[in-house]
Amino acid sequence: MKRSNPSLYESTLTNLPLPTFFLSRDLRVRIWNEHAEALFGWKFEEVDGQLPPLIHPEDIVFTETLWFSFLEKQETLHLKNVRMLAKDGTLFRDIELSPVVEDGLVIGAVFCCLPERHRRDITSKPVFQELIDLRTAFDETANVTVFDAKGTITYVNDLFSRLFEYRPEELVSQSWRSLLPSEAKELPAIRDSLKSGNAWSGKVDVLTRRGVVKQIQATLIPLRDIYDVPYQFIFIGIDITEKVRHERQLNFVANHNELTGLLNKRGFLDTGEEMFDLAGKENPIAFLLFDLDRFKVINDSFGPQIGDLLLTSVAERIENHAEDAIICHPGGDQFGLLISSHGHESAFRFTRKLQQALQRPYYINGHTLFITCTFGIALYPSESTTLFELYRRAELALFAGKAIGAGTIQYLTEEMDTTYTRKVQIERALFTALDEHSFHLHFQPIVDLKDKRLAGFEALLRWRHKELGDVPPSEFIPLAEAAALIIPINNWVLLEACDQLKKWHETIDPGLTMAVNLSPQQFQSETLMRTLQLIVKEGRIKPASLILEVTENVAMLRTKETVERMRLIKSLGFRLSLDDFGTGYSSLQYLRAFPVDELKIDKVFIDGIDQNDSALLDSIIHLGCSLGLNLVAEGVETESALSYLEQTKCQQMQGFIFSKPLSAEQVEQQYASKKE
**Interaction site with Ca ion (CB under 5 A):** 517, 549, 579-580, 634
Pick what 417 binds: Ca ion, ligand C2E, none; C-beta below 5 to 8 Å, kind-dependent.
none
Q: Which of 14, 76, 232, 517 binds ligand C2E (CB under 6 A)?
A: 517
Binding mask 225-264 for ligand C2E (x = CB under 6 A): ----------------------------------------
- Does residue number 19 form part of the binding site for ligand C2E (CB under 6 A)? no
Least distance in Å: CB of 579 to Ca ion? 4
Give the integer Cα–Cα distance in Å for 92 and 206.
Answer: 46
Q: Which of 107, 184, 460, 529 binds ligand C2E (CB under 6 A)?
A: 460
Q: Is the CB of 46 or the CB of 607 nearer to ligand C2E? A: 607
Q: Is the CB of 100 or the CB of 477 nearer to ligand C2E? A: 477
Q: Is the CB of 292 or the CB of 609 nearer to Ca ion? A: 609
- Does residue number 521 form part of the binding site for ligand C2E (CB under 6 A)? no
Q: Which of 168, 456, 624, 661 binds ligand C2E (CB under 6 A)?
A: 661
Pick what 81 binds: ligand C2E, Ca ion, none; C-beta below 5 to 8 Å, kind-dependent.
none
Least distance in Å: CB of 491 to ligand C2E? 10
Q: Is the CB of 157 or the CB of 659 nearer to Ca ion? A: 659
Could you tell me whether strands 409-411 and 373-380 are parallel, antiparallel, or unpaired per DSSP bridges?
parallel
Quick one: angle between helices 295-302 and 304-321, nearest 10?
A: 140
Query: What does the angle CA 76 – CA 82 – CA 86 come to, to the nearest 5 degrees?
Result: 110
Give the integer Cα–Cα distance in Å for 16 and 148.
Answer: 10
Is 513 in contact with 446 (CB distance < 8 Å)? Answer: yes
Cα–Cα separations (whole angstroms), residue 130 to 112, 127, 157, 421: 13, 6, 18, 64
Q: Is the CB of 517 or the CB of 586 nearer to Ca ion? A: 517
Cβ neighbours for 567, distance < 8 A, ≥ 6 positions apart = 595
Pick what 637 binds: Ca ion, ligand C2E, none; C-beta below 5 to 8 Å, kind-dependent.
ligand C2E
**Alpha carbons within 13 A on the beta-carbon side of 10:** 17
Q: Which of 588, 615, 656, 669 binds ligand C2E (CB under 6 A)?
A: 656
Is 226 in contact with 140 (CB distance < 8 Å)? Answer: no
The β-bridge partners of 429 are none
Least distance in Å: CB of 518 to ligand C2E? 6
Q: Is the CB of 358 or the CB of 493 nearer to ligand C2E? A: 493
- Only segment of 31-39, 337-345, 466-474, 528-536 that touches ligand C2E (CB under 6 A): 466-474
Residue 427: other Cβ atoms inside 10 A: 15
541: nearest Cα among 642, 457, 654: 457
- Does residue number 461 form part of the binding site for ligand C2E (CB under 6 A)? yes
Binding to ligand C2E, residues 550-609 (CB under 6 A): 579-580
- Does residue number 383 form part of the binding site for ligand C2E (CB under 6 A)? no
605: nearest Cα among 639, 572, 632, 576: 632
- Does residue number 355 form part of the binding site for ligand C2E (CB under 6 A)? no
SS (H, E, C) 479-522: HHHHCCCHHHHHHHHHHHHHHHHHHHHHHCCCCCEEEEECCHHH
The string of DSSP codes covering 69-130 is HHHHH---EEESS--EE-TTS-EE--EEEEEEEETTEEEEEEEEEPPHHHHHT--SS-HHHH
Least distance in Å: CB of 549 to Ca ion? 4
292: nearest Cα among 322, 312, 276: 312
627: nearest Cα among 584, 583, 580, 576: 576
Give the integer Cα–Cα distance in Å for 170 and 161.
Answer: 9
Phi and psi angles of residue 91, each rounded to the nearest 5 degrees, phi first: -100, 140
Is 572 in contact with 540 (CB distance < 8 Å)? Answer: no
Dihedral in degrees, nearest 10, Cα atoms 202, 208, 211, 213: -30
Binding to ligand C2E, residues 468-497 (CB under 6 A): 472-474, 477, 490, 493
- Does residue number 444 form part of the binding site for ligand C2E (CB under 6 A)? yes
- Does residue number 519 form part of the binding site for ligand C2E (CB under 6 A)? yes
Q: Is the CB of 131 or the CB of 447 nearer to ligand C2E? A: 447
- Does residue number 637 form part of the binding site for ligand C2E (CB under 6 A)? yes
Q: Is the CB of 477 or the CB of 617 nearer to ligand C2E? A: 477
Q: Is the CB of 154 or the CB of 444 nearer to ligand C2E? A: 444
Q: Is the CB of 10 or the CB of 552 nearer to Ca ion? A: 552
Residue 596's SS3 state is coil
- Only segment of 301-309, 560-568, 616-624, 649-657 that touches ligand C2E (CB under 6 A): 649-657
Quick one: angle between helices 615-626 and 603-610, nearest 10?
A: 130
Q: Is the CB of 194 or the CB of 461 nearer to ligand C2E? A: 461
Least distance in Å: CB of 248 to ligand C2E? 47
- Give the binding site for ligand C2E (CB under 6 A): 444, 460-461, 472-474, 477, 490, 493, 517, 519, 579-580, 635-637, 654-656, 661
